[in-house]
Amino acid sequence: MIKKVLLTLITVALLLVACTPKSPADPQAPQEPSVLNVMTHDSFDITAELMTRFETENNVKVNIIKGGDTGSALNRLILTSTTGAQEADVFYGLDNTFLSRALENDIFEPYNAPALSKIDARFKLDPKNGGLPVDYGDVCINYDKAWFADKGLDLPDSLEALIDPAYKGLLAVENPSTSSPGLAFMMATITHFGEEGWLDWWQQLKANEVAITSDWETAYYTNFSGSSGKGPQPMVVSYASSPAAELIYAEVELEESPTASIVADDACWRQIEFAGILKGTKQRAMAEKFIDFLLSKDFQEDVPMQMFVFPVLPEAQLPEGFVKGSQIPEKPASLDPALIAEKRDAWVEQWVELMLDN
Amino acid sequence: MQKRPSWQVILLWAIPLAFLAVFFYQPLVAIFRLVFSERFRQGWQLFRWTQVSKPLGFTLYQATLSTLLTLVLGLPAAWLFARFQFKGRKILRTMTIIPFILPTVVVATAFNTLLGSRGWLNLGLMSLFDLSSPPLRVLNSMGAILLAHVFYNTSIVIRMVGSSLSRLNQNLPAAAQSLGASPWKAFKEVTLPLLMPSILSATLMVFLFDFTSFGVVLMLGGPQFSTLEVEIYNQAMSRFNLPVAGLLSIIQLIFTLLLSAMINRVNQPRYGKSAIASERSGLRKAKTAWEKAFVIFMIVTLLLLMVTPILSLVTRSFFTFEAARGERGELQTGFTLRYYRELFFNREGSLFYVPPIAAIRNSISYASITMLLATVLGLLAAYAIHYSGASGRFLEPLFMLPLGASSVTLGLGFLIVFGSSLLTQGRFQALIPIAHALVALPLVTRTILPALRGIPENLRLAAKNMGANPLRVFREVDLPILFRAIAVSLLFAFTISLGEFGASSFLSNVAMPTIPVAIYRYISQPGALNYGQALAMSSLLMLVCVLGSLLIEHLRLPGEEMF
């Protein structure tokens, strides 16, 4: 009896291992495809067919490495490059809050992609074109429409309004030291209130019982009342595209999204995502092709539904469902990358000291 | 501390030690050498000792409290399962291991649906006492951390102590009582000392798991709490202050070493030999009123603490609350299979869509390899320690260290050492079960050792004198006695791998996505369907866990009676 069970168990295990796909070599292929390693963040996605097309056209195998969130992926790259154990040829998904760290560490090789000429100058934050803009999105406060309608409470129309006692305990934010939307929102407040005033505002927000979580998942699904988790707070720091996602991934078809964003001036932080060719790559030509692919109309039109971000290429058409739920703030907040580079860590430290130390 | 020819002992040591040297000590040394190198020196500029003392203090404080609470629940629960027969015993016991595999994000949602300000408990209390605001604030507090740690780790106590309890010769306390000792005295003087090694082992394991807790502190405790592990992650990943992260990791390792050594000193096996019963179930029905009360009380407590959060998750994966959002007040709910059906459907044709069957297959393959790897290595390690006498006790903490290594540190170490040479192109699949086995190894060693130490050497000698070769001695003498402990070890390793403990998150898992990877994919996106699918995937994870553990617990030696 025991031998049987053990034997079955071991056989099952071995079979399972043996059955795992091993990417069989295609005998028809003229030559072994080269491999391009692309480091990116965990939220990266793409229509499978689109990637296959790029791979067959260029006789290449694109090997995606998901390195955690943006910051973790970047740190991995910097660390492994110092030991010569470089993991990737291209990095995609670096955002403007971390761009400066990448540039300081000089991880990119410049590439003047032809498509760059079509892209709006306000997206191009690296003058040397080491990091090339690919997509953007806004980090905004989402609110629960039904909650506000129910209570007959007006929406806060500015960041200042959030410290009004009427909104006591109604907002959930993420810790900027562990969450990238949290960091983005903190940057928005620094843009708006200036380096002198921002901590005062946060002090008052703390007095107004803002809820703080470590990560977006907790803020959105356990704190926010507008999500399926139905938490206690009717406002949460999330993305301007989240209402569109609520619409697209609704269970029953909805007329309109149950949530919306507060798009007051400076209340949203514009996150721009960059891609770049990593220094020391042995696949420079293929890496250039991949960057061109990221900036091609096909890929640019793919990003809204796969990653809920906006394309930087003006000619890219947006899908209808995505446009319906999304709002674009007129005046999103932004800061000079050089200033971010100099102050980011100190700001986060100040924030943590003020908001988390009792 | 039986002596064996030294070359045999050295051989026993060689394999598990080589494994640790290659996959644990090598990456650790590499990462420490790098982060303390000249290149990252500027990190020290902002360094203050409070960056160490504050998280260290809190880590020790919460781990001590959590461990005590886990023992308070776990010891009687172990007793319950090892001694009493009652309806649903097997399934309740299996349920207690489920928390072990659940991703923290999912546990956070489960606790929220139960204990959140709009969770069932608060809603119930509010309507019962006509309150206008939720009376309980459990989430984002110290209470949530303690509760979650008890939820996660009670099964360690149940299994480790339980496996000793069922091995215990019940004639001994009975003999003590027949010689006039009160039941309490018999327990205190006979049973307890015999159980002590496994109780201490379980305590150490629970403490180390609590000590290096990351997700629970971050997500359930909230950002105002910071343990060493959280601070290491913070310094390494968000501030990129590598030397400070390195220093914190070393402190965490030193404490792990000290604790393991300390437990070892106390944990001197003094009895043991005659205490072994032939493997026989000591299960019986509760007889006296006291026993009945105990059994009922424990069942209710376990149901409340461990089973309700799990059930609420599973229930939610079959129910929709969607209609309630548009028209608040009229809460409409309905049964749905939509979340499960949607799992099989790649709506946007995404490259990283995870087919549920593939996820289940991948998770099971990793878990099976981990299980075999960790158990074989753990057995060898346990024998090596056992036969090395005093020096074995000295070396034993080396095997405990993987539990104290921070995942970030070890993960980055993996990348540096194996990133370019051994496993190029991001193909880290082989490393994943190895990373899981590293975490499982201490648990396995610690589970097997107390059982091994209880084997009377004269049994082995007798077998040898009758002409049995060492393999036969192992099969006929050791194996039957060790069998329960081995089954428990298999279970631990299997579940540790299913729950993706440790540094494996650093090893890109794109080619063979597992169930937890799929869960994260859904829960990191807004939308009711994504939330529902995350819960559905979690329920599938639990199902795999339950089936796997039932299978493992069903393992029997030939001739052993079923119960």
Residues of chain B with Cβ-Cβ distance to A10 below 8 Å are 372
Asked if A242 and B368 come within 8 Å (Cβ–Cβ), the reply is no
Place of tokens 């170490």: B413
- Local confidence band at B335 (pLDDT 50, 70, 90 cut-offs): confident
Asked if A49 and B349 come within 8 Å (Cβ–Cβ), the reply is yes
Predicted local confidence at residue B137, as pLDDT: 73
Q: A13-27, A318-332, B38-52 — which is least confidently predicted?
A: A13-27
Asked if B224 and A212 come within 8 Å (Cβ–Cβ), the reply is yes
CB A175 within 8 A of CB A354: no
CB B287 within 8 A of CB B84: no
Mutation target for A interface from B230, B427, B494, B525: give the one with most A CBs within 10 A: B525
Q: Does domain A137-270+327-356 have CATH number 3.40.190.10?
A: yes
Asked if A46 and B415 come within 8 Å (Cβ–Cβ), the reply is no
User: Cα–Cα distance between A292 and A298 in angstroms, integer?
Assistant: 11
Mutation target for A interface from B218, B352, B423, B436: give the one with most A CBs within 10 A: B352
Asked if A214 and B508 come within 8 Å (Cβ–Cβ), the reply is no
Q: Is B434 among the domain residues?
A: yes
Give the class (CATH, top level) of A32-136+271-318.
alpha beta
Q: B248-257, B322-331, B488-497 — which is least confidently predicted?
A: B322-331
Asked if A71 and B238 come within 8 Å (Cβ–Cβ), the reply is yes
Asked if A5 and B551 come within 8 Å (Cβ–Cβ), the reply is yes
Nearest chain B CA: its distance from A40 CA (Å): 11
Residue of A nearest to B34 (CA): A83
- Averaged over B307-314, what is the pLDDT? 89
Residues of chain B with Cβ-Cβ distance to A43 below 8 Å are 524-525
Residue of B nearest to A18 (CA): B365
Asked if B555 and A2 come within 8 Å (Cβ–Cβ), the reply is yes
Residue of B nearest to A64 (CA): B510
Where are the CATH 3.40.190.10 domain residues in chain A? 32-136+271-318, 137-270+327-356
- Local confidence band at B270 (pLDDT 50, 70, 90 cut-offs): low
Q: Higher pLDDT residue, A135 or B412? A: A135
User: Cα–Cα distance between B400 and B438 in angstroms, integer?
Assistant: 9
Predicted local confidence at residue A192, as pLDDT: 96
Nearest chain A CA: its distance from B182 CA (Å): 41
Structure tokens at B511: 């080619």
Closest in B321, B365, B508 to A13, CB measured = B365
Q: A265-279, A290-304, B249-263 — which is least confidently predicted?
A: B249-263
Beta-carbon count within 10 A of B340 CB: 18
Residue of A nearest to B117 (CA): A232
Asked if A63 and B425 come within 8 Å (Cβ–Cβ), the reply is yes
pTM of the predicted structure, to 2 decimals: 0.87
CA atoms within 13 A on the CB side of A189: 27
Closest in A75, A228, A242 to B237, CB measured = A75
Sign of CA dihedral A215, A217, A218, A224: positive
Question: Looking at the predicted structure, is the pLDDT value of residue B105 above 70?
Answer: yes
Asked if A86 and B420 come within 8 Å (Cβ–Cβ), the reply is yes
- Residue B395: give the domain boundaries: 6-25+56-307+355-553
User: Cα–Cα distance between B243 and B249 in angstroms, integer?
Assistant: 10
Residues of chain A with Cβ-Cβ distance to B238 below 8 Å are 71, 177-178, 348
- Local confidence band at A155 (pLDDT 50, 70, 90 cut-offs): very high
Strands A269-278 and A108-109 turn out to be antiparallel
Mutation target for B interface from A36, A216, A221: give the one with most B CBs within 10 A: A221
In Å, what is the CA distance from B257 to each residue of A63, B387, B396, B400?
39, 21, 10, 7
User: Cα–Cα distance between A299 and A107 in angstroms, integer?
Assistant: 24
Place of tokens 């009717």: A234
Asked if A9 and B322 come within 8 Å (Cβ–Cβ), the reply is no
Asked if A227 and B239 come within 8 Å (Cβ–Cβ), the reply is no
Asked if B556 and A1 come within 8 Å (Cβ–Cβ), the reply is yes
Predicted local confidence at residue A358, as pLDDT: 60
Q: What are phi and psi of A95, to 5 degrees?
A: -110, 175
Q: In 3D, which of B363, B333, B378 has the Cα closest to residue B485?
A: B378
Predicted local confidence at residue B114, as pLDDT: 81
Asked if B223 and A356 come within 8 Å (Cβ–Cβ), the reply is yes
Asked if B223 and A216 come within 8 Å (Cβ–Cβ), the reply is no
Residue of B nearest to A84 (CA): B420
- Local confidence band at B187 (pLDDT 50, 70, 90 cut-offs): confident
Asked if A221 and B512 come within 8 Å (Cβ–Cβ), the reply is no
Predicted local confidence at residue A21, as pLDDT: 46
- Averaged over B143-167, what is the pLDDT? 90
User: Cα–Cα distance between A249 and B322 in angstroms, integer?
Assistant: 12
Identify residue A208 by its one-letter amino acid code: N
CB A211 within 8 A of CB A169: yes
Average pLDDT, chain A: 88
Residues of chain A with Cβ-Cβ distance to B371 below 8 Å are 13
CB B423 within 8 A of CB B515: no
Predicted local confidence at residue B422, as pLDDT: 44
Count of helices and strands (H, E) across chain A: 12, 11
The SS3 of residue A143 is strand
Question: pLDDT tens-digit profile of A112-152?
Answer: 999 999 999 999 999 999 999 999 999 999 999 999 999 99
- Local confidence band at B286 (pLDDT 50, 70, 90 cut-offs): confident
Residues of chain B with Cβ-Cβ distance to A51 below 8 Å are 351
In Å, what is the CA distance from B456 to each residue of A36, A137, B92, B385, B534?
60, 69, 34, 16, 50
- Local confidence band at A209 (pLDDT 50, 70, 90 cut-offs): very high
- Local confidence band at A53 (pLDDT 50, 70, 90 cut-offs): very high
- Averaged over A77-93, what is the pLDDT? 85
User: Cα–Cα distance between A257 and A254 in angstroms, integer?
Assistant: 7
User: Cα–Cα distance between A21 and A35 in angstroms, integer?
Assistant: 18
User: Cα–Cα distance between A43 and A67 in angstroms, integer?
Assistant: 10
In a 10 Å sphere around its CB, with 0-12 CB exposed, 13-18 middle and 19+ buried, how is residue A330 labelled? Answer: exposed
Q: Is B366 among the domain residues?
A: yes
Predicted local confidence at residue B416, as pLDDT: 83
Alpha helices in B317-469 (DSSP H): 323-326, 338-343, 356-387, 389-400, 407-418, 431-453, 457-465
Asked if B118 and A231 come within 8 Å (Cβ–Cβ), the reply is yes
Number of domains chain B is built from = 1
Nearest chain A CA: its distance from B24 CA (Å): 18
Q: Higher pLDDT residue, B558 or B105? A: B105
What's the CATH code of the domain at B67? 1.10.3720.10
Residues of chain B with Cβ-Cβ distance to A250 below 8 Å are 322, 527-529
Asked if A35 and B425 come within 8 Å (Cβ–Cβ), the reply is yes
Average pLDDT, chain B: 84
Residue of B nearest to A233 (CA): B117
- Local confidence band at B324 (pLDDT 50, 70, 90 cut-offs): very low
Predicted local confidence at residue B196, as pLDDT: 87
Closest in B109, B505, B560 to A229, CB measured = B109
- Local confidence band at A70 (pLDDT 50, 70, 90 cut-offs): confident
Asked if B238 and A216 come within 8 Å (Cβ–Cβ), the reply is no
Question: pLDDT tens-digit profile of A277-318?
Answer: 999 899 999 999 999 999 999 999 999 999 999 999 999 999
Q: Is B68 among the domain residues?
A: yes
CB B188 within 8 A of CB B171: no
User: Cα–Cα distance between B210 and A135 in angstroms, integer?
Assistant: 41
Q: Where are the beta strands (DSSP E) in B163-257?
A: none
Q: Higher pLDDT residue, B349 or A277? A: A277
Residues of chain A with Cβ-Cβ distance to B224 below 8 Å are 212, 356, 358
- Averaged over A239-259, what is the pLDDT? 88
Question: pLDDT tens-digit profile of B69-82?
Answer: 999 999 999 999 99
Q: What is the share, in percent, of chain B residues with pLDDT greater than 90?
A: 35
Predicted local confidence at residue A24, as pLDDT: 45
Question: Looking at the predicted structure, is the pLDDT value of residue B560 above 70?
Answer: no
Place of tokens 């996820």: B359
- Local confidence band at B268 (pLDDT 50, 70, 90 cut-offs): low
Predicted local confidence at residue B325, as pLDDT: 46
Asked if B118 and A245 come within 8 Å (Cβ–Cβ), the reply is no
Residues of chain A with Cβ-Cβ distance to B429 below 8 Å are 20
Cross-strand bridge partners of residue B505: none
User: Cα–Cα distance between A163 and A171 in angstroms, integer?
Assistant: 10
Closest in B105, B108, B368 to A12, CB measured = B368
Asked if A251 and B348 come within 8 Å (Cβ–Cβ), the reply is no
Predicted local confidence at residue B245, as pLDDT: 92
Predicted local confidence at residue B561, as pLDDT: 46
Q: Is B319 among the domain residues?
A: no
Residues of chain B with Cβ-Cβ distance to A345 below 8 Å are 239
CB B502 within 8 A of CB B321: no
Q: In 3D, which of A79, A156, A15, A59 has the Cα closest to residue B506?
A: A79
Asked if B368 and A84 come within 8 Å (Cβ–Cβ), the reply is no
CA atoms within 13 A on the CB side of A105: 19
Residues of chain B with Cβ-Cβ distance to A217 below 8 Å are 105, 108, 219, 523-524
User: Cα–Cα distance between A48 and A55 in angstroms, integer?
Assistant: 11
User: Cα–Cα distance between A183 and B42 in angstroms, integer?
Assistant: 23
Q: In 3D, which of A141, A20, A99, A156 has the Cα closest to residue A271?
A: A99
Q: A15-29, A52-66, A100-114, B98-112 — which is least confidently predicted?
A: A15-29
User: Cα–Cα distance between B79 and B557 in angstroms, integer?
Assistant: 23
Nearest chain B CA: its distance from A344 CA (Å): 9
Nearest chain A CA: its distance from B417 CA (Å): 8
User: Cα–Cα distance between A231 and A112 in angstroms, integer?
Assistant: 47
Closest in A63, A225, A250 to B426, CB measured = A63
Q: How many CB pairs under 8 A join A and B?
A: 241
Q: Is B454 among the domain residues?
A: yes
Asked if A249 and B525 come within 8 Å (Cβ–Cβ), the reply is yes
Q: What are phi and psi of B423, to 5 degrees?
A: -125, 85
Predicted local confidence at residue A315, as pLDDT: 94
Residues of chain A with Cβ-Cβ distance to B30 below 8 Å are 83
Q: What is the share, in percent, of chain A residues with pLDDT greater than 70?
A: 91
Asked if A66 and B369 come within 8 Å (Cβ–Cβ), the reply is no
